[in-house]
Chain A
Amino acid sequence: MRFSDAFEARFTEMLTHYPTKRSVLVPTLLFAQDEVGYVSEDVIAELATRLELTTLDVRNVMSYYSMLVTKPRGKYNVQVCTNIACTLKGGDELLSHCAKRLGIGHKGTTADGQFSLEEVECIGACSWAPAIQVNYDFHENLDVPKMDAVLDGYAKK
């Protein structure tokens, strides 16, 4: 399986940081997902081989972490936090607004593959609630109009 050179360089380097190979597994799964779009069967098999684990081991670890997914999703994954700080500041409204605007629900993906929607737990933006992450980018202190602007921005990209 081919990953980017940057991936390979980081992978090789990270292996030297730990006394056991499998220690690199969690961050590496996320990096692999960033490249492939999701944790595919190939990724699982490849990492299992590289780290001398069974594919069962890799699956067991992978399925524990909520950022890792086994199905492709939209180019922009809109993650709306509805945890305590955000819910008090309108996170639920943002979520239902996104759902309406994108025509998808929690963990859904638009037909054109541009957007996915996800309700997520606290993303560490409580003092700037309500907040969302689109892929890894934070957008904070939102309301419905600002949310629309954020989505418009991505739609244009």
Chain B
Amino acid sequence: MADLVSHPDEVKVVSRRFGLGAANLDRYLELDGYKAVQKALAMQSADIIEEVKKSNLRGRGGAGFPTGLKWSFVPKESAKPKYVLCNGDESEPGTCKDRLIFEHDPHAVIEGAVIAGLAVGARKAYIYVRGEYRYLSLIMQKAIADAYGRGFLGKNIFGSGIDFDVFWHGGAGAYEVGEESALMESLEGKRGIPRIRPPFPAVVGLWGGPTVINNVETLASVPHIMLGGGEWFANLGTPRNGGTRLFCLSGHMNRCGVYELPLGYNLKKMIYEVGGGITGGRSLKAVVPGGSSTPLFRADEIDVAMDFDSVAKAGSMLGSGGVTAIDDQTCMVKFALRIIKFYQHESCGWCIPCREGTDWIKKSLTRFHAGGGLRKDIDDVKYLAQNMLGRTFCPLGDAAAMPIISIVDKFRDEFEAHLEGRPCPHAKEGDAANALLPMLAH
């Protein structure tokens, strides 16, 4: 459904089969489908993990945790069944890549999940797809059914003597459910409230059994690693940051779209060359480098290699791969307000700092943007965000706090320009949003 784009700098690994009709099983098989899982079936589980470790694959869901290492945390022996859980809740604003994988290469997700299961000794995998992605759920369900039909799933897969089940599961609208422990709660039919950790899911996860949780893109990378080798994959990226990534370019860029670029690709280049520069000939003001939860870069801070470590060193996070460019006509107060509105709406409400902090900041910024701001609000907003940072029950509080702190710090002058009853200086004539943004009901 969504348009595909391409750019000469792309290195197509995960997106290799995009646009080639690989949702069809026969087509998938023609494109090297289900070879990786057969290769994995012939391997020792420890060797699978070793190969993935070698690949320097790091989680594409946001935190960038080394995938091979995560798998190695799953205990060998377990009284309870082990599980693989594929996180397809994709809800981080700015992110729209898992959607393309589901649409164009659903079997790669299945294959990746089975290989993960073989690596850790699980025999069941669940693929959780966010509720809004109905058409993708249907594609996924069909892919699973087709794989069962060929004996690639179910009893004695590929004659290996191993039984393996893969099931689809659907959400019903909740960003927080993308957080791994809330995801398990949701799958178990509960409210999406995260769990106390430790114990970590690798030890105590779904229904108490050890569970590996990986992002869609992470799992879709795994078959390629199996076939191409860990070293090959690692070499695509930078040290400790193996492979490529689907970057979702959005905002004020001329050629928005999802591009697969090697890790370490320069952000400035990404915006000006791959993304085709800023729309309308305007200039860049800020960039959200990894989904709405990451601290923003100012236009002069974007000469950064886009891998986990470099972006962290530059004071932000590679996050979920959502790169949003913001032009110089944009009101950063309004932008901060839109971000906090999202986190306020999506906070599960479990802990005090996140539940009350996001609500408070949202109310303050709403008033502030509408011209009712006080000078002390600027520091108060930052104070609240700082007191959420690192203090909440799960990282959603951090996700809400980090961009807010960075916007207040980096665009303080824009806040000041709103003071003393002045309306938003970026407002256009007749801009309804200037009076009050449309507000979500909760």
Contacts and interface: CB of A to CB of B under 8 A. Distances in A.
Interface centre among B130, B170, B345 (most CB of A within 10 A): B170
A108 to B, nearest CB: 10
A60 B339 CA distance: 27
Nearest to A96: B432
B37 interface: no
A35 to B, nearest CB: 14
Given A61-B189, A88-B252, A126-B93, A66 B2 contact: no
A4 B133 CA distance: 22
Contacts of A137: 135
Contact of A19 (B191, B207, B292): B207
B168 to A, nearest CB: 9
A30 B131 contact: yes
Contact of A126 (B96, B175, B192): B96
B189 A60 contact: no
B324 A126 contact: yes
A122 B90 CA distance: 9
Interface in B184-232: 186-192, 207
Interface residues of A, number: 50
Given A22-B190, A65-B172, A124-B99, A84 B94 contact: yes
A151 B187 CA distance: 35
A122 B93 contact: yes
Contacts of A88: 250-252, 324, 326-327, 330
A128 interface: yes
Interface string A101-118: 000001100000000000
Categorize the interface residue count of chain B. Answer: 35 or more
Contacts of B345: 66, 121
Contact of A127 (B258, B334, B342, B438): B258
B65 interface: no
A91 to B, nearest CB: 9
A123 to B, nearest CB: 5
B3 interface: yes
A126 B94 contact: yes
A107 B171 contact: no
A138 interface: yes
Contact of B189 (A26, A30, A83, A119): A26
Given A136-B132, A136-B135, A125 B94 contact: no
Contacts of B252: 88-89
A23 interface: yes
A95 interface: yes
Contacts of B334: 87
A123 B175 CA distance: 10
B251 A20 contact: no
Interface centre among A29, A64, A119, A124 (most CB of B within 10 A): A124
A125 B96 contact: yes
Given A124-B91, A126-B322, A30 B172 contact: yes
Contacts of A96: 432-433, 438
Contact of A64 (B96, B191, B330): B191
Interface centre among B93, B170, B432, B433 (most CB of A within 10 A): B93
Contact of A65 (B131, B135, B188, B322): B131
A127 B249 contact: yes
A148 interface: no
B189 A24 contact: yes
B256 A83 contact: no
A51 B189 CA distance: 10
A22 B90 CA distance: 23
Contacts of A20: 188-189, 207
A58 to B, nearest CB: 9
A72 interface: no
A122 B438 contact: no
Given A23-B188, A85-B251, 15 more contacts: A26-B171, A61-B190, A66-B173, A84-B335, A85-B93, A87-B335, A88-B327, A92-B433, A96-B433, A124-B95, A124-B132, A125-B96, A126-B96, A126-B250, A126-B322
- Counting from the closest, the 7 A-B pairs by CB-CB distance are A67-B173, A25-B189, A22-B189, A136-B134, A27-B170, A65-B172, A85-B250
